[in-house]
């Protein structure tokens, strides 16, 4: 990389998301560790989405997995803000169960030691410079995934939750469960009847319809949605 490269500007720049991931994968530890507290804090603020943390997806978490007395099977879980500073929270095993260790980003970068337990024996461990760099890379890449690559998928999921939450769909399927008089039968017997098969077809059809008509349904009132779902249910269940 050129000496003028600034990771704190690059990650928020206009470079295409796929290219950003490619560059982040190519950076060495020294370049990655130049990511500042302000950068991590900005990532948290842009990606928190109303929550008190920005979580790293399980299959993309990095950490300290090398084994031995100085290392631990620890992985980053999320970042958050406390007193205007960025904090990192990561998994660690304590004396009885798994827990989380939270530390300021700047302290994390300094390579501080932590305490874990193995067979109920206390063990000191630390993230070395390579581990620290990999965690920073992990945070920066998660930002790119969340902000750009997975945005459309996430927005669709958020819309789906709005139009097909349990408080909207449950009253519909419960209505038909009673209308088909399945509630008058013991559940173990009800599930063996043809009416229950019809009920399941209607319920599945409603859920599938919501998934495949997200944009069309988004913005409608609860009453409108339930009326639509009832019609879908009746048609699928032939009821």
Task: Spell out the per-residue pLDDT of the chain, length 239, in tens.
Answer: 445 789 999 999 999 999 999 999 999 999 999 999 999 999 999 998 788 999 999 999 998 865 554 556 788 999 999 999 999 998 887 666 667 889 999 999 998 877 777 666 777 777 889 999 999 999 999 999 999 999 989 899 999 999 999 999 999 999 999 999 999 999 999 999 999 999 999 999 999 999 999 999 999 999 999 999 999 999 999 99
Domain extent listing, the chain: 7-149, 153-237
Beta bridge partners of 82: 85
| Main-chain phi, psi angles of 113, to 5 degrees | -90, 155
Q: Is residue 64 a contact partner of residue 125, using CB atoms and an 8 Å limit?
A: yes
Q: Is residue 80 a contact partner of residue 52, using CB atoms and an 8 Å limit?
A: yes
pTM: 0.75
How many other C-beta atoms lie within 10 A of the C-beta of residue 135?
Answer: 26
Burial of residue 4, with CB atoms counted within 10 A of its CB: 0-12 exposed, 13-18 middle, 19 or more buried: exposed
The pairing of beta strand 63-64 with beta strand 54-55: unpaired
Structure tokens at 63: 């950490």
């Amino acid at each position: 990389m050129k000496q003028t490269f600034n990771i704190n500007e690059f990650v928020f720049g206009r470079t295409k998301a796929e290219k950003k991931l490619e560059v982040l994968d190519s950076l060495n530890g020294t370049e990655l560790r130049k990511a500042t507290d302000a950068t991590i804090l900005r990532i948290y603020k842009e990606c928190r989405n109303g929550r008190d943390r920005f979580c790293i997806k399980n299959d993309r978490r990095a950490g300290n997995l090398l084994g031995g007395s100085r290392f631990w099977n620890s992985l980053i879980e999320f970042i958050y803000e406390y007193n205007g500073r960025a904090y990192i929270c990561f998994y660690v095993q304590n004396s009885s169960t798994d827990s989380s260790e939270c530390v300021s980003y700047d302290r994390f970068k300094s390579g501080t030691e932590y305490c874990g337990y193995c067979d109920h024996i206390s063990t000191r461990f630390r993230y070395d410079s390579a581990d620290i760099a990999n965690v920073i890379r992990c945070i920066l890449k998660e930002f790119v995934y969340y902000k750009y690559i997975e945005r459309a998928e996430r927005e669709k999921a958020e819309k789906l939750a709005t139009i097909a939450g349990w408080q909207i769909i449950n009253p519909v399927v419960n209505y038909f469960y009673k209308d088909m008089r399945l509630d008058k039968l013991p559940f173990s017997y009800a599930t063996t009847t043809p009416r229950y098969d019809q009920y399941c077809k209607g319920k599945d059809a409603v859920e599938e319809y919501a998934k495949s008509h997200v944009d069309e349904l988004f913005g409608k009132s609860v009453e409108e949605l339930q009326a639509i779902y009832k019609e879908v249910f009746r048609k699928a269940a032939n009821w």
